[in-house]
Amino acid sequence: KAGVTQTPRYLIKTRGQQVTLSCSPISGHRSVSWYQQTPGQGLQFLFEYFSETQRNKGNFPGRFSGRQFSNSRSEMNVSTLELGDSALYLCASSLAGVAAGELFFGEGSRLTVL
Amino acid sequence: AQSVAQPEDQVKVAEGNPLTVKCTYSVSGNPYLFWYVQYPNRGLQFLLKYITGDNLVKGSYGFEAEFNKSQTSFHLKKPSALVSDSALYFCAVRVPGQDNAGNMLTFGGGTRLMVKP
């Protein structure tokens, strides 16, 4: 069974640009979550999508947005990039119900903002 | 608001010795507790979880964790450490009972485990 796939793995952008990251969950998983990982702030929850609906949102500015498609694939977008947005962005998929919280993570997309 | 604390940034043990990685939590209500491990340049991998029942939970790779409600702790343990256990370990909490809780986890800051040969 294929794992969670994130693309691109690495990218470099400049301040003010925007970026779109993609995540393909494990087949059958309908929940997709996004987390930002930085050395200073650690792992922080961005948002979660389930059946194409945003179920939860973390404490991030509106520049961070996401969506989920009917095949459960998800994208997140960051507009007007700032230096502080440099981070590893992790996508995780999960089953619902009793398996909630058991997240299967991708290897992440490492974003560098110059 | 819920929070998770991992008081040690780094834990060093010798191979073959027992290891403990500490985690304490603060939530209102009964938590779901998790441990995840992250190897260099990789995503996180689920190790184990506590929802209810036996306070000692067994997980992957020989790890186990002990839930202690009175001390609000969920320490990760392994009887005999391996060099290959060297990685970054994260404790996390999810509060159930909220219809919209979903898979929103709050993570601790992480503990780097170094196992020396």
Q: How many contiguous H segments (helices) and E segments (strands) does chain B have? A: 0, 12
Q: CB-side exposure of B98: number of CA atoms within 13 Å?
A: 16
Q: How many CB pairs lie under 8 A apart between chains A and B?
A: 72
Residue B53 distance to chain A (closest CA, Å): 14
B100, B103, B105, B112: best to mutate for the A interface, most A CBs within 10 A:
B103
Nearest to B103 among A4, A43, A94 (CB): A94
- Average pLDDT of chain A is 93
**Is the per-residue pLDDT at B72 higher than 70?**
yes
Nearest to B102 among A50, A106, A108 (CB): A50
pLDDT tens digits, one per residue of B47-57: 999 988 889 99
For residue A58, give Cα distances in angstroms to A43, A98, A105.
Answer: 11, 22, 18
- Average pLDDT of chain B is 91
Q: Find, among B8, B112, B111, B20, the residue nearest to B64 by Cα.
A: B20
Q: Find, among B98, B26, B38, B102, the residue nearest to A34 by Cα.
A: B102
Provide residues of B within 8 Å CB-CB of chain A.
32, 34, 36, 41-46, 49, 51, 90, 92, 94, 96, 100-110
For residue A59, give Cα distances in angstroms to A35, A56, B104.
Answer: 11, 10, 12
**Is the per-residue pLDDT at B71 higher than 60?**
yes
Alpha-carbon Rg for chain B in angstroms: 14
pLDDT of residue B70: 93
CB-based contact A100 B106, cutoff 8 Å:
no
pLDDT tens digits, one per residue of A21-68: 999 999 999 899 999 999 989 999 999 998 899 988 899 999 999 999
Give me the mean pLDDT over the B78-92 stretch.
Answer: 96
